[in-house]
């Protein structure tokens, strides 16, 4: 009997993943996803490649002055031999959310609440990597309606630590905030974080985030009431994880995860 679900590589080949932010971390994530067989990458970053972006396995001298989204798409095309992989630069700030199976946001700024709620409203599975000079905070993959969201995490940190800003880095462990002399988006930290981000996206896709023969995303993942964030800190790219449940005051569609878990427990 034929398997009911396609093998992971087939599911990956059918997937479309967007990446917003194409510094070292974003570019390495794009290259990792393409090497793993993700079929379509939509890349967006309005900034240009600078000398700071150059490094082993990333942008080269010829890319300096080129739009990041254009240079990144070219590098993906040059480094993959899988015929089904396609990478294309998005029009500026016009990533087609409705066509994506997952979106990765790589930022060195706080994530604006309206952007986060837009992703929730358009039901786009998303992961945020917040880069600072000494730390990268990687969110879980947020699946609207099935998992806790970024605001759930922010509300928990407000309850536990007094953090009141709704930001992409609000969940960072207080122990990781010690100042460390490092350049933003450093090569070691970016490489380690790219492994974490790429692995999380691939795990989501392989677990049922997309169907090989579907024209629409198919989220067959069970509802999850607890998710895990990852924090990488210099020196040494130390890794710390934290687990987060749905926050009862959030009101996000992740409340469905709690209801589903409760129903399963009483069945």
Domain map of the chain by residue range? 9-211+227-245
CA distances to 52, 126, 169 from 193, rounded to whole Å, are 18, 16, 14
Tally of CB atoms within 10 A around 107: 20
The one-character DSSP state at 174 is G
Residues 20-67: tens digit of each pLDDT: 999 999 999 999 999 999 988 999 998 999 998 888 778 999 999 999
* Calpha distance 202→222 (Å, rounded): 16
SS3 assignment, position 112: coil
Do the Cβ atoms of 103 and 209 come closer than 8 Å? Answer: no
CATH fold of 9-211+227-245 reads Rossmann fold (3.40.50)
SS3 assignment, position 222: coil
Residues 128-149: tens digit of each pLDDT: 999 888 889 999 999 988 888 8
Longest dimension (CA), the chain: 61
CA 171 to chain centre: 15
Q: Retrieve residue 146's tokens.
A: 């099935």
Q: In the predicted model, is pLDDT for residue 76 greater than 60?
A: yes
* Calpha distance 267→262 (Å, rounded): 9
Q: Which residue has better confidence, 183 or 64?
A: 64
SS3 assignment, position 26: helix
Of 42-51, 153-162, 171-180, 205-214, the range with the highest mean pLDDT is: 42-51
Do the Cβ atoms of 57 and 28 come closer than 8 Å? Answer: yes
Structure confidence at residue 235 (pLDDT): 79
CA distances to 54, 76, 236 from 36, rounded to whole Å, are 23, 12, 26
Say what the pTM is: 0.81
Structure confidence at residue 30 (pLDDT): 95
Q: 66-96 as b/e, with b when 16 or more CB fall inside 10 Å?
A: ebbbbbbbebbeeebeeeebbbebbeeeebe
Q: In the predicted model, is pLDDT for residue 1 greater than 50?
A: no
């Amino acid at each position: 009997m034929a398997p009911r679900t396609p093998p992971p590589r087939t599911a990956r080949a059918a997937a479309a993943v967007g990446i917003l932010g194409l510094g070292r971390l974003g570019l390495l994530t794009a290259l990792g996803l393409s090497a793993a067989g993700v079929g379509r990458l939509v890349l967006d970053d309005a900034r240009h490649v600078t000398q700071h972006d150059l490094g082993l396995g990333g942008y080269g001298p010829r890319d300096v002055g080129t739009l990041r989204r254009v240079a990144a798409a070219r590098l993906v095309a040059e480094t993959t031999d899988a015929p089904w992989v396609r990478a294309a630069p998005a029009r500026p700030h016009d990533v087609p959310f409705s066509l994506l199976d997952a979106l990765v946001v790589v930022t060195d700024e706080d994530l604006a609440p309206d952007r986060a709620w837009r992703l929730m409203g358009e039901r786009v599975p998303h992961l945020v990597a917040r880069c600072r000079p000494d730390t990268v905070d990687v969110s879980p993959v947020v699946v609207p309606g099935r998992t806790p969201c970024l605001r759930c995490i922010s509300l928990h940190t407000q309850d536990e630590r007094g953090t009141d800003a709704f930001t992409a880095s609000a969940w960072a462990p207080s122990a990781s905030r010690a100042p460390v002399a490092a350049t933003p988006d450093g090569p070691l930290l970016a490489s380690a974080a790219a492994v974490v981000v790429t692995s999380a996206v691939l795990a989501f896709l392989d677990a049922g985030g997309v169907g090989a023969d579907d024209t629409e995303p198919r989220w067959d993942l069970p509802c999850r009431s607890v998710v895990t964030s990852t924090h990488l800190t210099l020196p040494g790219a130390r890794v710390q994880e934290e687990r987060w449940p749905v926050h009862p005051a959030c009101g996000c569609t992740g409340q469905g995860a709690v209801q589903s878990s409760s129903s399963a427990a009483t069945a």
